[in-house]
Structure 1
Amino acid sequence: MKLFLCLLSLVVLGLPRAQAEPVVAGQTLYDLPLEELVRVQVPLQADVGTRDGAHTALHAIVPTDVYTTEQLLSVGEMGLAYALAALVPGFNHPRPSIADGTDHAPPFTLRSLSPDQVLVLVNGKRLHQSSLLHTNSTIGRGSSSVDLNTIPLLAVERVEVLRDGAAAQYGSDAIAGIINIVLKGYGQTNQALLGWGRTTQGDGIQRQASLFHSTALASDGFFNITAELRDRGSSNRARPDADGQTRLHFGDADTQDGQLAWNAELPQGDTTLFSHGHLSRRHSRAGAFFRNADSDKNLPSIYPQGFLPQIAPRITDLSASFGVKGILASGSPWSLAYTAGMNDYRFFVRNSLNRSLGADSPTRFDSGSTAFVQHTLNADVQHNFGPHSLAGGYEYRRADYRIRAGEPASYTLGPDSPWYAGAQGFGGFSPDNATHAQRDSHAVYLDAKYALHPQWTVLGALRAEHYSDFGPTLNGKLAVRYQPTPQWLLRGGLSTGFRAPSLTQTGFTSTSTVLDGSALLQYGHYGVSHPVARALGAQDLKPEKSQHLTFGTVWQPSPQLTASMDGFVTEIDDRIMPTSYIAKSSLAQLSPQAQAILQQYGVEGATYFTNAVRTRTHGVDLRLDYQHDLAPGRRWHLRAAYSYAATRITGVNAAPSVLGVDMTDLVLDPYARVTLEAGQPRHSAKLWSRYSTAQYDLTFNLNYFGSYASTYGSDKVGFAAQWTLDAQLSYRLSKNTTLTVGGTNLLNTRPSQWGQTTDPIIGVGKPIAYSQYAPFGFNGAAYYLRLGVRF
């Protein structure tokens, strides 16, 4: 916060007089002379937050940020989530490694909350989540998230980030906020990009080819299509072993993406047909833990030097929206839309073996897949009554989640080993793990905006939903905007919200079998309706419920300068968390009854999801946007932002009595508590600056990431705050050709290190220097070249 206030003071006190006079009250663009008109910057507007049309920062009832495609491309990242992490304070996107499926589709968070507590929209329509459940010790453990990197950057016109609870308007998940991705629409220029980059250590080579093409249709219609190929080589920051060889892989996965996105509108009289969507196909590969040559997990006849199993998933992601919109005779806008989304995550394992099958073991496995399908139908109508507005609608949503078994060799326990069954690195889903879960929901909503006075506006929202698995919810929102002067805005709001338990949380089951003497024992995670979980006290999951308070102000002394400050408090009840390992070895007070249940089912240990704790998150967001015309054709644009968000556990629910332990022991082991309260930086700040001329653009992006913590055993380990710096120079070789050179993390900042660690399950040394919680990864500095052509 001190950083932001210092920057604000320097900018405000040292502002030179802009050469272009601001548009005064009552003056329109039609009144401006041509030489000033061409230099006018239209204020960025956002559609999300209210349903009565786009609004600027000075007129928004709820805090909303807007990031253009030029800003997203200016930070040198190929993926949308990585670009947002470089620009948006409070947007956290670590890059974990040795975390099974999470390596290949890492989650993001907003305001230090969970990945599944952020709602993502595309053109205002809900985007589906991934079928991947993050089960390892990473940020986002126990959640399923949206994979933003499936949408090519070149297809995006802007990204709107709403920083407020909005479930009363948009439904489940909108607790931390909303990200609305707006695709390029009418009047866009065709564009192609070729990019290449690598880290300063010579790995992580990136290649990119993108093409955006827009076709004009009749009556201001358009059909835009974007195609992109991305190839990101792996990086490795593992330490060498004692003999000087680096056997472990700890770094980015080796990933190839093929992507296609479209956006289209075709006016037909008083109505308009529209469609948008994307298709993404990802092949990826990353390492698990290394198996030494003399390990009892290895067969020297197959791997004389030991082996590093590789998890190599194939991920397909598809979303498609089709609809029609128009304006009634009364002047009321309406729309009807259908959206289908699908994510299929198929696990393959390479360079591995099933030790229990002996010399007959294959070295490549199909370990099964998870799939999530979502169908959404929306009907909306809105009407203005002078300065007032009223909107209503209906939404039907159907979700389908499946687990498909892998090939037998991926999960079978063979005769040649007393150890666990299946492919090493990622054991396959067995037929007993196969799942098919479905859910329907119906929702009706009403939004009203009432102008009490030219200076006072009140927003009210009410949304009622009914889910087929847990029943009804009712949520409301009341927000007020007071504008005492044309340059100053005060705003605040109260709302309730919720997050429906994901089908991955209710239905995910993954188990492994071990041979203990003559007894077969099972361990793993069980869905809440599984007989083992039920016997151990699992109940149907309830929705997480939230309460929100926001309050803030916006100051715009001139069209060139806008500053805002917004505080917030978010309380969440019944947060869903996985239990710790339910076994006598890990829960010393486990009841004899629970031990008997484990023995009855032949289970060594089990986990499942439960509604566990209550939390409070509070914080503040500061924003500053300043643009200054230095001379004709020259412009300086500065965006400074700061975010503070702190989460605390304020209550713990009762644990199932059958276990004989309290909920603190059951879910809040040192790892879970530290991750929830301190695993993400509380403080973050961004300073983005661009100097533009007719010939070139020079951009700097300074990032501050606050301290965070992790655990080693039962000990809390803190990691220091860090700074990173990105820079980019874009030079126009001709009117339509631009050459860009840039670097990310030019300070070569690395996270704080911790010492040599040993994995308690694998039992081999992990020469890992950095925490997986590091908010900016651990690759260090990188540079890139990019050639852009407009045609």
Structure 2
Amino acid sequence: MNQFNRVPLRTFALVPLASLFFSFAASAEEVRQVYHIAPGPLDEVLLDISRQSGQVISFTPQLGNYSSARVDGSLSAQQAVDAALKGTGLHVQVSPDGAFVIKEGAAKSAQATSSVKAQTSAAQAPTLDRVVAIGTRRSDATALTSAAPVDVINAAELKQTGATSLNQALFQLLPSFNFPQNNSATRGQDPKGASLRGLSPDQTLVLINGKRRHTSAVVNISGGVPFIGAQPVDLDMIPISAIDHVEVLRDGASAQYGSDAVAGVVNIVLKERDSGGGINTQLGKYAQGDGFSKTTDGWYGIGLPGDGFLTLSFNTLNNKPDDIGDKYVADGQLQDPRWGGAGRDKYNLAANAEIGLNDQWRLYSFATFGQDTSVNNTPPLLASSPNNVASIYPGGTIPKYRYRYEDGAVTVGTRYEDESIGRFDLSATYGRDEHDELAFNTVNPSYGANSPTKFNVATLVNDQTNITLDYAKDLDVNWSSHPLTVSAGVAYRHEQYRLEAGDYDSYSYGGIDNVQVGAVQASGLTPDDAGTFKRDVGGVYFGLENQVTDKLQVGVAGRTEHYSDFGSATTGKLSARYDFTPQVGLRGTINNAYHAPSLGQIGTSWTTTTNLDANGNPVLTRMLPADNPAARALGAQPLKPEKSTNYSLGLVLRPTEHASLTIDAYQISIRDRLLFSGGISGPLAEQILTNAGYGQYSWAQFMTNAADTRTRGVDIVGKYNLDLAQFGDLNLSAGYTKARTTIEKVHENPNGFEVLTREARGFIEHGYPEDKLVFGAVHTLNQWTIALNQTRYGKYRKYAAAEANAQYDQVFSAQWTTDLDVNYAFTKQLRVSVGVNNLFDSKPDDFNSRLRQTPGQQYSYLSPTAPEGAFYYTRLSYDF
């Protein structure tokens, strides 16, 4: 066979059993089978066709860079391959021994030349492209032919990062993805969401196989951290081993997917394997000598009836705590409490299944379950503190906090497809996230020597049920040789959020005055804070997409959703793309989006008893729900959804089939952003509260629609694949993002209280790197694969809470990190990797001591990288 793309003669002869080849090859055109193969990498689709039909198909490894169209229906092997090759510019030749050989260029047979359209569209499907399901209802859209920017990250790229969680892997790979990676103390145990374009993680919608994912039960109420008030989806509850690829839509998409899709959408696509499997184990440790980590993950595929599959996946993680704390002097002694990443035990499970009932009707289901338990130190309780109980802790103590998350979801659904009536997808999803907190090595000093030393602090539970019916059909139209894709759907969602009180001893008064009431560092949730919140959401949507000409495509979508607790919201989206040549395209979108307040944001309440007044009554500080009468007295208003207007304009360049460059500029204007108010206290607040009958409160805070903001930025992504002949293949990538958010308007409190603190303003406008630059290179030569990534995080700032302390504002300098992964394949099944994240042990600037929340906090919670520095690991992988 001739060489393909200057690659040395290397082809795959694919046949399940050699004896089957001779019987199937002679009758490949006559024998038909039912295929239901989703769009994906062309090499994988051809493997599926070969496995199902028994037909030998020979091709080069470079076909993995092409994207296959959907293969569906009762087809011969030839027809199935033709369907997979549609739009790629490739064609099939039959060798003298009956094998199918995939070739470049126009086909010579009448069958292959019957469609001029397929040949002329070859330039529109470059080798770097991938079929995508996000942001469109078309079945042939790809990342580089879409009207909105989409990133596609495959399983191999996730693994090469050496990351032990999905959040960390995406953070290393995507320029537009940001989330602080400082895991010190309890702040690092909060869920890690998907923050795109400098916006809050709950302004990005997360889907699993195209279905809405439930959020965590935890609302971020920690001080000194960005995104206060956010209730995101916990990405780290999805095992990386279960993921086939991740699609990231960097564009507002509420009209297509509903609430939360303000900054974009992350769609996690699970593996669909009916045979084989793989297992990986990784050991790692920080160069500073701690944080030893052990991970194991794997997957296994089983065939099911009707060309079905069941793919099972898992991962486990155990890591020891690490220390990034700072020494300080207190009680006349040098204090060196451990302050760093938590000790953690974690496991995740996933299953993805599908069976075919007939040629048109298929059933599917997928499920995930995970548990994450972590333990970390909190600031020390010194021996000299009046809150220490000397009879229990004569030398003081370091209170510890244990977080435990249990997260699960299951989806069941059915798809029906008929060429005459269209495609239907009916599904139901139930998801649940439970979070409980326990503190130990601490005391409630108001109980003195009778105080317990372990307390259940709180339990938070978030439930969500989704039922959706989606429809799409391709209609022939007079004005275009391309079909008009019509889509519509209805959706129903039931949500429930529950707060359960902690142990009575964790918040109650034990009888001793002049000390703190409640557990130190762990005052529990009170019965007054506990409660259950529910709502129902119904919605309908409609969309149209059409490739009007070979150069012009347009799309329009609209959605209306009604919330039982705050009313209706309607959004729309208009998208268009024009390809001046096969190498140059211009794309743009205009849309409005919204983010409804989550039930956690509506219901979160937390009371702390600071002391007793002269009459023996507790003096309380409280984080109040916005509809609480005390909050209303202080000027709280009913919460409204955040609403945004999003403009995007992009340029797509494809100079060759091996190179691409996309440049996308955007503006996102958000009205009524949801944030916690500043802490309200002082004589005026006390007088208002006393008049309203809430004189026991000395300080209060509540969720509010605090401000209008505008985010402007640009994302640049380039890729170039080089064939180095006898020196292997080199895949290069580069990405750059720059974003800036400005506060356009602050919604003042009617009583004049501070709605948006100076510190909160800093988080919104400067609490993330002003830009991010990512370079990547993957070199493959024989058995060796070397992946190198270089990342630069731009400057960011931390503001002091009060204007009087503005001189302590800190600007953190830019930081470079280097990640290296070296992999050697002993066989096709057995591979070994050694690698290091942050090769040169780069660390962020030390945190100004005037801004720290505790003297031991050496690094800011805003740090985009893990302050622990270099992390070395080795990984063993075996496929079977």
Describe how 1:547-566 pairs up with structure 2 within 5 A: 547-566=645-664
444-453 or 364-373, which moves further after superposition?
A: 444-453
Instruction: Report if the CA contact (8 A) 1:598-1:605 is conserved.
Output: no
Spell out, residue by residue over 1:412-467, the C-alpha distance to the aligned partner (whole angstroms, 9 max, x if none).
11112323322222211111111100010100000101333221111000001100
Describe how 1:640-789 pairs up with structure 2 within 5 A: 640-655=734-749, 657=750, 659=751, 661=752, 666-714=754-802, 715=806, 716-757=809-850, 766-789=855-878
Instruction: Report if the CA contact (8 A) 2:485-2:546 is conserved.
Output: yes
In structure 2, the partner of 1:145 is 232
Instruction: Report if the CA contact (8 A) 2:425-2:469 is conserved.
Output: yes
Q: Provide the C-alpha distance between the structure 1 equivalents of 2:660 and 2:93, rounded to a whole number of angstroms.
A: 23
Q: Secondary structure at the match of 1:384?
A: strand
Describe how 1:266-285 pairs up with structure 2 within 5 A: 266-269=355-358, 270-285=360-375
Q: Secondary structure at the match of 2:528?
A: helix
The answer on 1:515 being equivalent to 2:612 is: yes
In structure 2, the partner of 1:72 is 158
The answer on 1:567 being equivalent to 2:665 is: yes
Paired letter, 2:620 = Q
Q: Secondary structure at the match of 2:688?
A: helix
| Residue 758 of structure 1: how far off its partner (Å) | 7.2
Unaligned runs of 5+ in 1: 1-16
115-124 or 43-52, which moves further after superposition?
A: 43-52
Describe how 1:599-618 pairs up with structure 2 within 5 A: 600-618=694-712
Paired letter, 1:174 = A
Instruction: Report if the CA contact (8 A) 1:210-1:227 is conserved.
Output: yes
Alpha-carbon distance change, 244 to 553 in structure 1, aligned in 2, over 3 angstroms: farther
Paired letter, 2:697 = V
Spell out, residue by residue over 1:390-423, the C-alpha distance to the aligned partner (whole angstroms, 9 max, x if none).
0000010011000001111111111123233222
The partner residue of 1:196 within 276, 283, 294 is 283
Spell out, residue by residue over 1:677-732, the C-alpha distance to the aligned partner (whole angstroms, 9 max, x if none).
00001200111110012311001011110100112443221101110000000111
The answer on 1:469 being equivalent to 2:565 is: yes
In structure 2, the partner of 1:621 is 715
Alpha-carbon distance change, 683 to 188 in structure 1, aligned in 2, over 3 angstroms: farther
In structure 2, the partner of 1:253 is 342
Q: How many residues align?
A: 761
| Residue 199 of structure 1: how far off its partner (Å) | 0.1
| Residue 598 of structure 1: how far off its partner (Å) | 7.2
Describe how 1:239-638 pairs up with structure 2 within 5 A: 239-242=326-329, 245-269=334-358, 270-328=360-418, 330=420, 332-386=422-476, 387=482, 388-513=484-609, 514-518=611-615, 519-584=617-682, 590=684, 594=688, 596-597=690-691, 600-631=694-725, 634-638=728-732
Paired letter, 1:55 = A
Describe how 1:145-184 pairs up with structure 2 within 5 A: 145-184=232-271
Unaligned runs of 5+ in 2: 8-61, 67-84, 105-125, 477-481
| Residue 553 of structure 1: how far off its partner (Å) | 1.1
Q: Provide the C-alpha distance between the structure 2 equivalents of 1:130 and 1:598, rounded to a whole number of angstroms.
A: 34
Alpha-carbon distance change, 30 to 43 in structure 1, aligned in 2, over 3 angstroms: farther
| Residue 30 of structure 1: how far off its partner (Å) | 2.1
In structure 1, the partner of 2:173 is 87
In structure 2, the partner of 1:48 is 134
Paired letter, 1:147 = D
Paired letter, 2:754 = L
Instruction: Report if the CA contact (8 A) 1:100-1:426 is conserved.
Output: no
Q: Provide the C-alpha distance between the structure 2 equivalents of 1:100 and 1:517, rounded to a whole number of angstroms.
A: 35
Paired letter, 1:185 = E
Spell out, residue by residue over 1:61-93, the C-alpha distance to the aligned partner (whole angstroms, 9 max, x if none).
110000011101111110000000000112112
Q: Secondary structure at the match of 1:788?
A: strand
Instruction: Report if the CA contact (8 A) 1:757-1:767 is conserved.
Output: no
The answer on 1:790 being equivalent to 2:879 is: yes
237-246 or 29-38, which moves further after superposition?
A: 29-38
63-72 or 527-536, which moves further after superposition?
A: 527-536
Instruction: Report if the CA contact (8 A) 2:128-2:659 is conserved.
Output: no
Alpha-carbon distance change, 241 to 181 in structure 1, aligned in 2, over 3 angstroms: same
| Residue 525 of structure 1: how far off its partner (Å) | 0.2
Q: Provide the C-alpha distance between the structure 1 equivalents of 2:168 and 2:533, rounded to a whole number of angstroms.
A: 32
Alpha-carbon distance change, 29 to 641 in structure 1, aligned in 2, over 3 angstroms: farther
In structure 2, the partner of 1:238 is 325
Alpha-carbon distance change, 139 to 29 in structure 1, aligned in 2, over 3 angstroms: farther
Q: Secondary structure at the match of 1:465?
A: strand
Note the aligned Cα RMSD (angstroms).
Answer: 2.3
Paired letter, 2:623 = H
Alpha-carbon distance change, 197 to 339 in structure 1, aligned in 2, over 3 angstroms: same
TM-score (norm 1): 0.92
Alpha-carbon distance change, 97 to 153 in structure 1, aligned in 2, over 3 angstroms: closer
Instruction: Report if the CA contact (8 A) 1:135-1:141 is conserved.
Output: yes
Q: Secondary structure at the match of 1:566?
A: strand
Instruction: Report if the CA contact (8 A) 1:18-1:628 is conserved.
Output: no
| Residue 734 of structure 1: how far off its partner (Å) | 2.1
Q: Provide the C-alpha distance between the structure 1 equivalents of 2:851 and 2:735, rounded to a whole number of angstroms.
A: 39
Paired letter, 1:749 = S
Alpha-carbon distance change, 284 to 104 in structure 1, aligned in 2, over 3 angstroms: farther
| Residue 97 of structure 1: how far off its partner (Å) | 5.0
Q: Secondary structure at the match of 1:169?
A: helix
Q: Provide the C-alpha distance between the structure 1 equivalents of 2:298 and 2:619, rounded to a whole number of angstroms.
A: 54
| Residue 531 of structure 1: how far off its partner (Å) | 2.2
Instruction: Report if the CA contact (8 A) 1:583-1:595 is conserved.
Output: no
Q: Secondary structure at the match of 1:675?
A: helix
Q: Provide the C-alpha distance between the structure 1 equivalents of 2:594 and 2:520, rounded to a whole number of angstroms.
A: 39
| Residue 107 of structure 1: how far off its partner (Å) | 3.9
Instruction: Report if the CA contact (8 A) 1:292-1:305 is conserved.
Output: yes
The answer on 1:30 being equivalent to 2:92 is: yes
Higher-Rg member (1/2): 2
| Residue 576 of structure 1: how far off its partner (Å) | 1.0
Q: Provide the C-alpha distance between the structure 1 equivalents of 2:535 and 2:542, rounded to a whole number of angstroms.
A: 24
Instruction: Report if the CA contact (8 A) 2:541-2:559 is conserved.
Output: yes
| Residue 759 of structure 1: how far off its partner (Å) | 6.2
Instruction: Report if the CA contact (8 A) 2:634-2:689 is conserved.
Output: no
Alpha-carbon distance change, 561 to 786 in structure 1, aligned in 2, over 3 angstroms: same
| Residue 489 of structure 1: how far off its partner (Å) | 1.3
Instruction: Report if the CA contact (8 A) 1:104-1:253 is conserved.
Output: no
Paired letter, 1:301 = S
Alpha-carbon distance change, 592 to 228 in structure 1, aligned in 2, over 3 angstroms: closer
Q: Provide the C-alpha distance between the structure 2 equivalents of 1:676 and 1:595, rounded to a whole number of angstroms.
A: 30
Spell out, residue by residue over 1:244-281, the C-alpha distance to the aligned partner (whole angstroms, 9 max, x if none).
85543332111110110111111110211101121001
Paired letter, 1:741 = V
Q: Provide the C-alpha distance between the structure 1 equivalents of 2:763 and 2:376, rounded to a whole number of angstroms.
A: 24
Q: Provide the C-alpha distance between the structure 1 equivalents of 2:396 and 2:692, rounded to a whole number of angstroms.
A: 35
In structure 2, the partner of 1:6 is none
In structure 2, the partner of 1:117 is 203
Q: Secondary structure at the match of 1:495?
A: strand
